[in-house]
Structure 1
Amino acid sequence: MPCPEPPSQPPRIPDERPAGAPTGHPPAATADTSDDAAARAGLTAVAGPGDPAMGALLDEHGAAAVWQTLRRGRTPPAPPDARGGAADRAARWRQRAAGVDTDALLAAAAEIGSRLVVPGDPGWPTQLDQLGRERPYALWVRGTRDLRHACLRSVAVVGARAATAYGLHVAADLAWGLGQRSWTVVSGGAYGIDAAAHRGGLAAAAPGVAVLACGLDLSYPRGNENLFADIAARGTLVSEHPPGAPPSRHGFLVRNRIIAALTPGTVVVEAGARSGALNTARHAHRLHRAVMGVPGPVTSALSAGCHRLLRDGAAVCVTNTDDVVEQVGSIGTDLREAGDGGAVGGGVLDDTARRVLAAVPKRTCAGTASIAEAASTGIDTALSSLGLLAAAGFVERGASGWRAYRDP
């Protein structure tokens, strides 16, 4: 078996390898982790999000090798099963890469308080891996909560921008009820149902997650600027796009797959026959997530999409928080009467979770190992309990470990 190349040499793309050298192995084993993150940062500025051709290249060769090839002015070989036009897109990637400074991208992100999360990081939501070749190359994240833990108990609530008073009321009420039970509300930050759902969840003091279709330094739509600030203070803003990237129609449609993939279930509150919310529902169905629809007046065109989902059996009818939790919750844990407290409230924590919570400091951060020792439990058990406690809002991950969450 040939010896691996020295780490000082950049990983090679197959068309640069000598004859007879093995192919098909990503260079992650020899590429530095920081090189991989920088490469993925650059790729978010070069390739359109969720491009299966780029996903195939990353699976085959790794981000560092693909990025170095593009920066050298070369075109990576198209995957054998790539769809038509992959070669043209690769040529555009090469041209764009010549003008991208990854250090400047990361510095611009740091200036607005955002960070890059890549596959393999502790904060990476592993459920996104189910997107396969459409998985994000990386995520730009801004906020006080760890994205992975915030989405452990989450529900996507989506719907029409031009919503009716009925739809706005239902979305806010559902989100408030979910927040009361310690469920995170995930949506797209748009006007209408999205904004109502975000506000409802925040009113219940629950963290929120907004998946945006532009750079995190831009507030789009502008009228939701204060809402985005509230979400960042209590939850997380997420985007596949680097700082400065403007929104686009295609970007809104592509980001819907992330909303669907982050959560175990999606609720469509109000949607017309051609609403983008139906696109989110289709992604959720493809990923085998729970799809739920709220019925509306039969005379309302803005409920036609929901009614079609229900009629075709593509969604389960839900009318309140109990209905939603029944679809996405754990049997014997989440099915309880309204007003009974959060599903993982302080009164229903098991003994292990209580010990772990008691071992988490309030003012400083502590590592998982020290918390496990103080709680007299194993590291794996402590990490599992910390994930549940983070999802419920009891603790948060800081720069150097864990600490008890202090609501801003």
Structure 2
Amino acid sequence: MPEMNEVREARIEIGQVCEPGDVAAHILLAVAGPQTTADVVTGRAASIPCLDEYVEGLRAAGYQDPLKAAGEALRRWHARAEQLKPASSLREQMAEIGAHYLVPEDAAWPARLLDLGLSQPYGLWVRTGSRGAGTARDARTALAACEVSLAVVGTREATQYGLEITHRIAARCRDTGVTVISGGAIGIDGRAHASALERDAAAGRRGMSTVAVLAGGIDRFYPASHHRLFEDILAGGALISEATPGGAPTRWRFLQRNRLIAALSGAVVVVEARVRSGALSTANHALTIGRDVGAVPGNITSELSAGCHALLQTTASAVIAEPDDALRLLKRPDGSYIPEGIGPSPMPNARGIARARVTDGMTEKQLAVYEATPVRRPVDVARIARWAGLSADEALGVLADFDLRGYVRRAEGKWVRTR
């Protein structure tokens, strides 16, 4: 498919030049498409096509001076384009190790990633198979396996308690056909992957039992101490990364990676975490895009459980008191549980510690305004109304009510969500 190859290679170039979550790049993609966007960000195009539409898109996203923002973006992109690697060569090199690049235009692209909005990845490198045996079909199978999945995340400083609970949850996932997603790190992440694979080997089965989402390039095993684990994952699961091959796993990329774990998964469970940790970053991303989150309670004197307790106290996260509680987070739209054989919790109120969701009980109009209001950059009523499909007066009435409830705040005539 020559056309799809062109799309893939265009998006590979975009991913090299533009950082994840680059709003200006995503708006250009929406306006001009992958091939033209690649020409613009790499400097091959002399100007931005559809400039008026692009400027309007930037203005709608909250840029007060969209022309200035466009100019700054071009300078940023062109500076990075000097280090551009040929996309076709990258594809060939990665295919030799069983890695293939999938894009939003692929039929296998997970619909859940659309929940990230302007933070959706430009594409994903998916690596499968031992000794470079993974095919493009295997890569598509790996993404499909994320449809029924649970993210199990936590601290690198895991206690024996945390490791044991992680093992039990991951083993139960494998027993019920749920793919375990995590970040490949030392501690909770590593145990989650390993336990899913142990159950796989013990049962004599093969399949996508676990997926590791990496912060660095798909060709770099990090941490190095998990080299053997990553090889095992390739034999019974997959590695996924949005980073350009060869890319170093910087702190920024770890934080960006967390949003992918949250978006790919059906729900997120935090086993152990400090109050300030990457695992809580993953949980917060999940809550923002509407994923259910669970937290394992621990020793109240342990800093490694303080993050879990904070989730239970301040969000609608569920108490994970047994492995099946984690699986109960995975529900169909009709409320039935996805894993077979999972019944309701014997606890009458498994979320008793947690607060109700902000959106519980909202009318359709309220929900539309709530979802149309950004969580970071304030925007005016007109934009919120347009995104919500309402009149400005209707949107303003809902926003005023939300302001009294503390759901939003007004900043210089514009509105932003607080919860």
TM-score (norm 1): 0.71
**Partners of 1:73 and 1:94 within 8 A in 2:** no
**Partners of 1:156 and 1:187 within 8 A in 2:** yes
1:22-33 matches, within 5 Å, as: 32-33=3-4
Matched residue, 2:100: 115
1:67/1:170 Cα in 2 relative to 1: closer, same or farther (>3 Å)?
Answer: same
Per-residue CA deviations over 1:1-27 (Å, capped at 9, x if unaligned) read: xxxxxxxxxxxxxxxxxxxxxxxxxxx
Residue 267 (structure 2) pairs with residue 265 (structure 1)? yes
1:9-408 matches, within 5 Å, as: 32-71=3-42, 72=44, 74=46, 76=48, 79-80=58-59, 81=61, 83=63, 87-100=71-84, 101-144=86-129, 145=138, 146-205=141-200, 207-330=209-332, 331=336, 334=339, 336=341
Distance in 1 (alpha carbons) for counterparts of 2:21 and 2:249: 15
Q: What is the DSSP-based 3-state SS (H/G/I as helix, E as strand, rest coil) of the residue aligned with 2:8?
A: helix
**Partners of 1:187 and 1:198 within 8 A in 2:** yes
1:288/1:107 Cα in 2 relative to 1: closer, same or farther (>3 Å)?
Answer: same
**Partners of 2:255 and 2:278 within 8 A in 1:** yes
TM-superposed CA distance for 1:277, in Å, is: 0.6
TM-superposed CA distance for 1:333, in Å, is: 5.9
TM-superposed CA distance for 1:111, in Å, is: 2.4
**Partners of 2:328 and 2:342 within 8 A in 1:** no
Distance in 1 (alpha carbons) for counterparts of 2:342 and 2:108: 33
Distance in 2 (alpha carbons) for counterparts of 1:291 and 1:43: 32
**Partners of 2:177 and 2:339 within 8 A in 1:** no
**Partners of 2:327 and 2:342 within 8 A in 1:** no
TM-superposed CA distance for 1:149, in Å, is: 1.7
1:83/1:293 Cα in 2 relative to 1: closer, same or farther (>3 Å)?
Answer: farther
Q: What is the DSSP-based 3-state SS (H/G/I as helix, E as strand, rest coil) of the residue aligned with 1:112?
A: coil
TM-superposed CA distance for 1:236, in Å, is: 1.1
Distance in 2 (alpha carbons) for counterparts of 1:109 and 1:310: 42
Matched residue, 2:402: none
**RMSD of the TM alignment (CA)?**
2.1
TM-superposed CA distance for 1:75, in Å, is: 6.6
Per-residue CA deviations over 1:326-356 (Å, capped at 9, x if unaligned) read: 2214526636369xxxxxxxxxxxxxxxxxx
TM-superposed CA distance for 1:74, in Å, is: 4.7
Distance in 1 (alpha carbons) for counterparts of 2:153 and 2:337: 27
Unaligned regions of 5+ residues in structure 1, if any? 1-30, 339-408
Distance in 1 (alpha carbons) for counterparts of 2:36 and 2:315: 45
TM-superposed CA distance for 1:323, in Å, is: 0.7
Per-residue CA deviations over 1:205-253 (Å, capped at 9, x if unaligned) read: 1611100011111111100111111111111100001211111100000
1:75/1:168 Cα in 2 relative to 1: closer, same or farther (>3 Å)?
Answer: farther
Q: What is the DSSP-based 3-state SS (H/G/I as helix, E as strand, rest coil) of the residue aligned with 1:178?
A: helix
1:93/1:74 Cα in 2 relative to 1: closer, same or farther (>3 Å)?
Answer: farther
Distance in 2 (alpha carbons) for counterparts of 1:129 and 1:255: 15
**Partners of 1:75 and 1:91 within 8 A in 2:** no
1:278/1:142 Cα in 2 relative to 1: closer, same or farther (>3 Å)?
Answer: same
**Partners of 1:70 and 1:94 within 8 A in 2:** yes
TM-score (norm 2): 0.70
TM-superposed CA distance for 1:50, in Å, is: 2.4
1:285/1:245 Cα in 2 relative to 1: closer, same or farther (>3 Å)?
Answer: same
**Partners of 2:259 and 2:285 within 8 A in 1:** yes
Distance in 2 (alpha carbons) for counterparts of 1:152 and 1:214: 24
1:74/1:304 Cα in 2 relative to 1: closer, same or farther (>3 Å)?
Answer: farther
Letter in 2 for 1:211: V
**Partners of 1:75 and 1:90 within 8 A in 2:** no
1:51/1:329 Cα in 2 relative to 1: closer, same or farther (>3 Å)?
Answer: same
Unaligned regions of 5+ residues in structure 2, if any? 130-137, 201-207, 344-419
Q: What is the DSSP-based 3-state SS (H/G/I as helix, E as strand, rest coil) of the residue aligned with 2:126?
A: strand
Distance in 2 (alpha carbons) for counterparts of 1:94 and 1:82: 23
1:86/1:177 Cα in 2 relative to 1: closer, same or farther (>3 Å)?
Answer: farther
TM-superposed CA distance for 1:195, in Å, is: 0.3
Distance in 1 (alpha carbons) for counterparts of 2:306 and 2:70: 37
TM-superposed CA distance for 1:199, in Å, is: 0.8
Larger mean Cα displacement after TM superposition, 136-145 or 210-219: 136-145
Distance in 1 (alpha carbons) for counterparts of 2:181 and 2:330: 14
**Partners of 2:170 and 2:193 within 8 A in 1:** yes
